[in-house]
Amino acid sequence: MFNDLLLILWIIIKIIVIVVPLLLGVAYLTFFERKVIGLMQSRIGPNRVGPWGLLQPIADVLKLLTKEIIIPSASNRYLFVIAPMLTITPALAAWAVIPFSQGMALANINAGVLYLFALGSLSVYGVLVAGWASNSKYAFLGAMRAAAQTISYEIAMGFSFVGILLAAGSMNLQDIVLKQQGGFWHWYWLPLLPLFVTYWISGVAETNRLPFDVAEGESEIVAGFHVEYSGITFALFFLAEYINMIMVSTIAALLFLGGWLSPFEGIPLLGPLFAWVPGIIWLFLKIGGFLFLYIWLRATFPRYRYDQIMRLGWKVLIPVTLVWVVVVSLGVEFKIAPWFI
């Protein structure tokens, strides 16, 4: 009895250790985003609150928390309030299976990839419900766009996961990372390069980030599905979007870039030199690289036109993944070294 309670307490501590840094990471990701985009556009970015503007995200959070929540009178009240929760819950729950280093996971489950994919497919519900419950034309248009886009890119994303499953022969995230052992050229990004690119594009589309942010589309439909939301309810949508960004980056790092494995593994001089660096540092560096890519994409590309999004998803990405899944299965069948042993 006492041991069981202790176990539950230990799990709760682990959850806090994951969630609190995650929320802080989101806060400083917004700061990083504004700074990087500012520099890319020859501006300075936020620099007023605290030293070098470092307290800006804290100020933003405080402001959002103190704002009034306005519920439109013609909205569906119950669903209107529940929609932000529907968005944030799967975004947070997905972190349960992420291994941060060897053995460092809240739950090391066998169907890890499937669990992540299932929770990822749920993120569209918050958007759909929010758009419908707001009873607003713009919100509804945003929700419809989000639903169509998510469905389309989920298929391509699913097939890139199938490629990983074939290559690793496992759905357990730790096994997948350990299968990539042996240095930079053993990671799955090389043999699965088309799937890697497809996964990344679908990941950007799934999180509704630029250049695929037709669900928000400020210049066309104001702010899309969350146009009626204010204060903390809006903040929850915002939070979920950024958590999902970090999530997509983490999955990309785990599945294609060897997770916590060192890139210098197996190189004569550099390998031992960097052997002391804990794996979690490498993982964070890789995640950071992907997050920078997100921001870089946002600063570089204009928004896709809707029919072009559909064309890219259905006519380019899905055929590419279908062909490459066959290639990977051939590679696995004939045990092509060094990846498929």
Q: Does 300 bind another protein (CB under 8 A)?
A: no
The least distance separating another protein from the CB of residue 133, rounded to whole angstroms, comes to: 9
Q: Buried b / exposed e across 155-172, counting CB within 10 Å, b at 16+?
A: ebbbbbbbbbbbbbebbb
Is the CB of 151 or the CB of 281 nearer to another protein?
151
What are the C-alpha distances in Å from 213 to residues 59, 89, 241, 316, 332? 26, 21, 11, 19, 37
CA 69 to chain centre: 27
Instruction: Using alpha carbons only, give the angle 296, 299, 305 rounded to the nearest 5 degrees.
Output: 110
Residues counted in the chain: 341
Cα Rg, the chain, nearest whole Å? 21
Instruction: Give the contact letters, 141-170, x = binds to another protein (CB under 8 A), - = no.
Output: --xx--xx-xx--x----------------
The least distance separating another protein from the CB of residue 150, rounded to whole angstroms, comes to: 7
Site residues (CB under 8 A) for another protein, limited to 40-79: 79
Longest CA span, the chain = 68
Q: Does 242 bind another protein (CB under 8 A)?
A: no
The least distance separating another protein from the CB of residue 263, rounded to whole angstroms, comes to: 31
Q: Does 320 bind another protein (CB under 8 A)?
A: no
Interface segment toward another protein; rule CB under 8 A; list 33-41, 100-108, 127-135, 196-204 = 127-135
Is the CB of 90 or the CB of 217 nearer to another protein?
90
CB contact at 8 A, 131 and 144: yes
DSSP secondary structure code for residue 100 in this structure: S
The least distance separating another protein from the CB of residue 2, rounded to whole angstroms, comes to: 10
Q: Rounded CA gap, 253 and 142, in Å? A: 30
Q: Which residue among 51, 307, 334, 335 contacts another protein (CB under 8 A)? A: 307
Is the CB of 124 or the CB of 253 nearer to another protein?
124
Q: Does 269 bind another protein (CB under 8 A)?
A: no
CB contact at 8 A, 139 and 226: yes
Q: Does 329 bind another protein (CB under 8 A)?
A: no
What are the C-alpha distances in Å from 307 to residues 159, 168, 210? 22, 35, 16
The least distance separating another protein from the CB of residue 14, rounded to whole angstroms, comes to: 18
Q: Does 337 bind another protein (CB under 8 A)?
A: no
Q: Does 128 bind another protein (CB under 8 A)?
A: yes
DSSP secondary structure code for residue 54 in this structure: T
State the residues that interact with another protein by CB under 8 A.
Answer: 1, 4-5, 79, 109-111, 114-115, 117-119, 121-122, 124-125, 128-129, 132, 140, 143-144, 147-148, 150-151, 154, 171, 307-308, 311
